[in-house]
Amino acid sequence: MTKVFLIGNLTRDPELTETAGGVSVCRFAVAVNRGFGDNRVTDFYNVTAWRKLGETVAHFTKKGNKIAVYGDLQIRQYEANDGTRRTSVDVVAQDVEFLTPKQQDDGGFYDAPATQSAAAPKKKPALEAFDDDGDIPF
Protein backbone atom coordinates (compact mmCIF):
# COMPACT_ATOMS: atom_id res chain seq x y z
CA MET A 1 0.00 0.00 0.00
CA THR A 2 1.39 3.37 -1.04
CA LYS A 3 -0.25 6.56 0.23
CA VAL A 4 0.77 10.13 -0.46
CA PHE A 5 -0.14 13.49 1.07
CA LEU A 6 0.68 16.60 -0.98
CA ILE A 7 0.24 20.30 -0.26
CA GLY A 8 0.85 22.63 -3.16
CA ASN A 9 -0.59 24.89 -5.83
CA LEU A 10 -2.54 24.00 -8.96
CA THR A 11 -0.37 24.59 -12.03
CA ARG A 12 -3.37 24.84 -14.38
CA ASP A 13 -7.15 24.88 -14.22
CA PRO A 14 -8.56 21.39 -13.54
CA GLU A 15 -9.88 19.56 -16.62
CA LEU A 16 -13.18 17.73 -16.09
CA THR A 17 -14.18 15.05 -18.60
CA GLU A 18 -16.31 11.91 -18.66
CA THR A 19 -15.45 8.35 -19.53
CA ALA A 20 -17.42 6.53 -22.23
CA GLY A 21 -19.51 5.09 -19.39
CA GLY A 22 -20.42 8.56 -18.09
CA VAL A 23 -18.12 8.61 -15.04
CA SER A 24 -16.67 12.04 -14.20
CA VAL A 25 -12.88 12.32 -14.08
CA CYS A 26 -10.87 15.43 -13.25
CA ARG A 27 -7.18 15.81 -14.05
CA PHE A 28 -4.94 18.51 -12.62
CA ALA A 29 -1.33 19.10 -11.64
CA VAL A 30 0.05 20.22 -8.28
CA ALA A 31 3.38 21.99 -7.74
CA VAL A 32 4.96 21.07 -4.39
CA ASN A 33 8.03 22.81 -2.96
CA ARG A 34 10.65 20.94 -0.97
CA GLY A 35 14.00 21.90 0.47
CA PHE A 36 15.14 25.22 1.90
CA GLY A 37 17.11 28.25 0.78
CA ASP A 38 19.33 27.60 -2.26
CA ASN A 39 18.37 23.89 -2.22
CA ARG A 40 14.70 24.61 -2.89
CA VAL A 41 13.18 22.39 -5.60
CA THR A 42 9.65 22.25 -7.01
CA ASP A 43 8.14 18.87 -7.92
CA PHE A 44 5.12 18.55 -10.21
CA TYR A 45 2.54 15.80 -9.68
CA ASN A 46 -0.28 14.75 -11.99
CA VAL A 47 -3.45 14.05 -10.01
CA THR A 48 -6.68 12.31 -11.02
CA ALA A 49 -9.91 12.67 -9.03
CA TRP A 50 -12.94 10.54 -9.90
CA ARG A 51 -16.70 11.05 -9.69
CA LYS A 52 -18.09 13.62 -7.23
CA LEU A 53 -14.65 14.48 -5.85
CA GLY A 54 -13.46 15.33 -9.36
CA GLU A 55 -16.55 17.42 -10.07
CA THR A 56 -16.04 19.34 -6.82
CA VAL A 57 -12.37 20.06 -7.58
CA ALA A 58 -13.19 21.22 -11.11
CA HIS A 59 -16.01 23.47 -9.94
CA PHE A 60 -14.37 25.13 -6.95
CA THR A 61 -10.67 25.49 -7.84
CA LYS A 62 -8.55 27.18 -10.45
CA LYS A 63 -4.91 27.66 -11.38
CA GLY A 64 -2.86 28.96 -8.45
CA ASN A 65 -5.16 27.72 -5.67
CA LYS A 66 -3.45 25.97 -2.77
CA ILE A 67 -4.81 22.49 -2.08
CA ALA A 68 -4.02 19.40 -0.05
CA VAL A 69 -4.33 16.02 -1.78
CA TYR A 70 -4.46 12.62 -0.09
CA GLY A 71 -4.37 9.54 -2.29
CA ASP A 72 -2.61 6.56 -3.82
CA LEU A 73 0.47 6.51 -6.07
CA GLN A 74 -0.09 4.85 -9.40
CA ILE A 75 2.80 3.96 -11.72
CA ARG A 76 2.00 3.68 -15.42
CA GLN A 77 4.26 2.54 -18.22
CA TYR A 78 3.56 3.52 -21.80
CA GLU A 79 5.19 3.84 -25.18
CA ALA A 80 5.79 7.41 -26.38
CA ASN A 81 5.23 8.57 -29.97
CA ASP A 82 8.95 8.19 -30.70
CA GLY A 83 8.83 4.52 -29.61
CA THR A 84 10.65 4.94 -26.29
CA ARG A 85 9.30 3.31 -23.16
CA ARG A 86 8.25 5.85 -20.48
CA THR A 87 7.12 5.66 -16.86
CA SER A 88 4.68 8.05 -15.25
CA VAL A 89 3.92 8.42 -11.56
CA ASP A 90 0.41 9.73 -10.91
CA VAL A 91 -1.67 10.36 -7.79
CA VAL A 92 -5.23 9.04 -7.60
CA ALA A 93 -6.96 11.38 -5.15
CA GLN A 94 -9.06 9.99 -2.33
CA ASP A 95 -9.56 13.37 -0.65
CA VAL A 96 -8.86 16.98 -1.58
CA GLU A 97 -8.99 19.95 0.76
CA PHE A 98 -9.08 23.55 -0.46
CA LEU A 99 -6.53 25.71 1.35
CA THR A 100 -6.76 29.03 -0.51
CA PRO A 101 -8.26 31.69 1.78
CA LYS A 102 -11.58 33.32 0.95
CA GLN A 103 -11.42 36.15 -1.58
CA GLN A 104 -14.14 38.72 -2.18
CA ASP A 105 -13.41 39.31 -5.88
CA ASP A 106 -13.23 35.68 -6.97
CA GLY A 107 -16.92 35.10 -7.64
CA GLY A 108 -16.67 31.37 -6.92
CA PHE A 109 -16.61 29.05 -3.94
CA TYR A 110 -14.29 31.34 -2.01
CA ASP A 111 -16.59 34.33 -2.46
CA ALA A 112 -17.71 36.20 0.65
CA PRO A 113 -21.46 36.23 1.35
CA ALA A 114 -23.39 39.04 -0.30
CA THR A 115 -24.04 42.06 1.90
CA GLN A 116 -27.11 44.28 2.00
CA SER A 117 -25.68 47.61 0.90
CA ALA A 118 -28.87 49.67 0.41
CA ALA A 119 -31.08 48.05 3.02
CA ALA A 120 -32.32 50.22 5.87
CA PRO A 121 -31.16 49.19 9.34
CA LYS A 122 -33.71 47.14 11.26
CA LYS A 123 -35.47 48.78 14.22
CA LYS A 124 -35.52 47.08 17.56
CA PRO A 125 -39.02 46.25 18.76
CA ALA A 126 -40.45 48.66 21.30
CA LEU A 127 -40.82 47.44 24.88
CA GLU A 128 -44.32 47.36 26.32
CA ALA A 129 -44.98 49.04 29.61
CA PHE A 130 -46.82 47.14 32.34
CA ASP A 131 -48.40 48.11 35.63
CA ASP A 132 -46.41 47.21 38.72
CA ASP A 133 -49.37 45.80 40.64
CA GLY A 134 -47.50 42.65 41.58
CA ASP A 135 -48.62 40.62 38.56
CA ILE A 136 -45.82 39.45 36.36
CA PRO A 137 -46.84 39.69 32.66
CA PHE A 138 -45.44 36.28 31.73
φ, ψ of residue 46 in degrees (nearest 5):
-85, 135
Of 31-40, 110-119, 122-131, the range with the lowest mean pLDDT is 110-119
- Residue 116 pLDDT greater than 60, yes or no: no
pLDDT at 38 (0 to 100): 87
List, for residues 73-91, the tens digit of each pLDDT value.
999 899 999 999 999 889 9
User: Which whole-number Å values give the CA distances from 4 to 26, 89, 124, 137, in the listed order?
Assistant: 18, 12, 55, 65
Band (2; pLDDT cuts 50, 70, 90): confident
A 10 A CB-CB count for 70 gives 14
Of 1-5, 64-68, 81-85, 90-94, the range with the lowest mean pLDDT is 1-5
